[in-house]
Amino acid sequence: MRIAVVGSGYVGLVAAACFAELGHEVISIDNDVEKVAMLQRGEVPIHEEFLPELLARHRSQKLTFSTDLREAVGQSQAIFIAVGTPATEMGDADLSYVEQVSREVAQAINGYKVVVEKSTVPVTTSEWIRRVMLLDGADADQFDVASNPEFLREGTAVEDFLYPDRIVVGADTERCATLLRQIYEPMTSGEYYQRNNIIPNVSNATVPPPIIVTSAKSAELIKHASNAFLATKISFINAVANICEAVGADIKEVCEGIGTDARIGRRFLNPGIGYGGSCFPKDLKAFSSVARETGYDFRLLQEVMAINAEQRSRFLRKVRSALWTLKGKKLAVLGLAFKGGTDDIRESPSIEIVKCLRKEGCEVRAFDPAATERAQEVLADSGISYHRSPYEAAEAADALLILTDWPEFARLDLPRLKSALTYPIMIDGRNLYDPAAMAAAGFIYSSVGRPDVQASIAKQNGKPEKMAAATPEKAH
């Protein structure tokens, strides 16, 4: 199949590389001339596991890069729109890039094509795309508009694409559904998984994945509702973690107890400093706005967003209660991206926390395995220094804060860290360590939804002791 993917951001580039991996002839289109040149030279603009391998494997063969949308449309049977849908000031999705691409596609159409929404868009966007294409002269028989939402996570995007829980195709005609089924056939038939040298099934996903064919509107709703549900799960567990803190219960034990109920499931039940990234914050606002337009006030989503914002303030209160005053304190910060495994800092809770710490007069010593360069662009501040390792960041710091869940942050050399820090204080916003082990290693350790522990008492009776539960923050 000949496929054009318009937009080479996280979703577009991964989709283009993965379609090529499945065996299709793919043209990746972007209007950013520099980015296209970079991709043509073999450079990889984003940090994404397995993406460099796929680009190297298929570049100049099954995968080409271009700025010429019209030519690509002329050569392709399916055109995937994967351009940005940023939030407007009102919170709804800005669909102007989608509209612009739809118009250009309409003008270049030269035979039956399927135009597929890959970007996250509000329900009824497919109808709008159809309408503008007709207005721009496309013949109604020459195209169909489909929705094929993506459920990939940054950091594991390639794996999520090739080993998905399900493939959702929203198509309103059989002709269109058939073409999309053909595109995913190497996966749904299981044929891809029999090949040699494929991208490994790291998380042991069930293959082949099922394909769910729905109407275009249902598929659009599936995407927004999935992200909203996952964000709700995170805010729910953060709220429960806050109750755990107040009563001295342990959120890890609570999660084990509720997550083993197959109806609830263990995944996305990790409490922390709240969700961030380019998807959940934007999509919750957009979904809430879509609901309002349909006449439904989705108050649950407002509360999910409010709990999420409060989670950052609660973390800052933890830092204050561990250090008393903040002005002039040196703090080592591990993690600047919105989560581990990515260099993306969009809507990163960590960046927000760093900004607040700076406002309170702290000196920040930061380390992130991939996001430093991007963070520097938005945190141009002489009070923040960037370091090459967690230990260098911890050097002479008054405390260490863990803000993203990079696997390497969960495997730190604790004696080395302790000797680098001025005080052995760790405030863990991602619950990467076991409190008892931290106390035994000589740390004063505070995390989310679990009792704080302090080393000094642990040393006396060989057991970590819970710190006074009624710190001002806990009493709140």
Residue numbers annotated as active site: 279
Distance (Å, rounded) from C-alpha 130 to C-alpha 33? 28
Degrees (nearest 5) of the Cα angle 14, 20, 21? 85
Binding interface with ligand UGA (CB under 6 A): 120, 150-154, 227, 230, 234, 268-270, 272, 275-277, 279-280, 338-339
- Please report how close the Cβ of residue 91 comes to ligand UGA at its closest, in angstroms: 16
**453-454 and 465-466 strand pairing:** antiparallel
Degrees (nearest 5) of the Cα angle 421, 449, 337? 60
Q: Among 28, 23, 21, which Cα is nearest to 118's?
A: 28
What's phi and psi for 50, nearest 5 deg?
A: 75, -10
Nearer to ligand UGA, 268 or 298 (CB): 268
Q: Among 235, 5, 287, which Cα is nearest to 120's?
A: 287
- Please report how close the Cβ of residue 205 comes to ligand UGA at its closest, in angstroms: 13
User: Is the CB of residue 26 less than 8 Å from the CB of residue 62?
Assistant: yes
The single residue listed with the structure tokens 């298929």 is: 58
Nearer to ligand UGA, 339 or 365 (CB): 339
- Please report how close the Cβ of residue 80 comes to ligand UGA at its closest, in angstroms: 14
Nearer to ligand UGA, 372 or 431 (CB): 431
Q: How many CA atoms lie within 13 A of 146 on its CB side?
A: 29
Structure token digits, residue 219: 């598929």
- Please report how close the Cβ of residue 269 comes to ligand UGA at its closest, in angstroms: 6
Q: Among 58, 60, 46, which Cα is nearest to 18's?
A: 58
- Please report how close the Cβ of residue 293 comes to ligand UGA at its closest, in angstroms: 20
Q: What is the DSSP string of 148-183?
A: ----PPTTSHHHHHHS-S-EEEE-SSHHHHHHHHHH
Nearest-10 crossing angle of helices 280-293, 299-323: 150
Nearer to ligand UGA, 14 or 453 (CB): 14
Q: Among 167, 164, 206, 207, which Cα is nearest to 183's?
A: 167
Q: What single DSSP character describes residue 348?
A: -
- Please report how close the Cβ of residue 233 comes to ligand UGA at its closest, in angstroms: 7
Nearer to ligand UGA, 17 or 467 (CB): 17
Distance (Å, rounded) from C-alpha 110 to C-alpha 73? 8
- Please report how close the Cβ of residue 194 comes to ligand UGA at its closest, in angstroms: 27
Query: Tell me, what amino acid is at 384?
Result: I
- Please report how close the Cβ of residue 156 comes to ligand UGA at its closest, in angstroms: 8
- Please report how close the Cβ of residue 274 comes to ligand UGA at its closest, in angstroms: 6
Distance (Å, rounded) from C-alpha 288 to C-alpha 132? 25
Nearer to ligand UGA, 446 or 454 (CB): 446
Nearer to ligand UGA, 72 or 251 (CB): 251
Distance (Å, rounded) from C-alpha 232 to C-alpha 351? 22
What's phi and psi for 454, nearest 5 deg?
A: -130, 145
| Euclidean distance between the first and the last CA atom of the chain, given in angstroms as a whole number | 59
Nearer to ligand UGA, 108 or 279 (CB): 279
Tell me the C-alpha to C-alpha distance, in Å, between residue 257 and each of 179, 213, 248, 252, 323: 44, 35, 16, 9, 33
Tell me the C-alpha to C-alpha distance, in Å, between residue 431 and each of 219, 239, 409, 452: 35, 15, 11, 11
Nearer to ligand UGA, 59 or 318 (CB): 318
Distance (Å, rounded) from C-alpha 188 to C-alpha 180? 11
Rounded CA Rg of the chain = 24
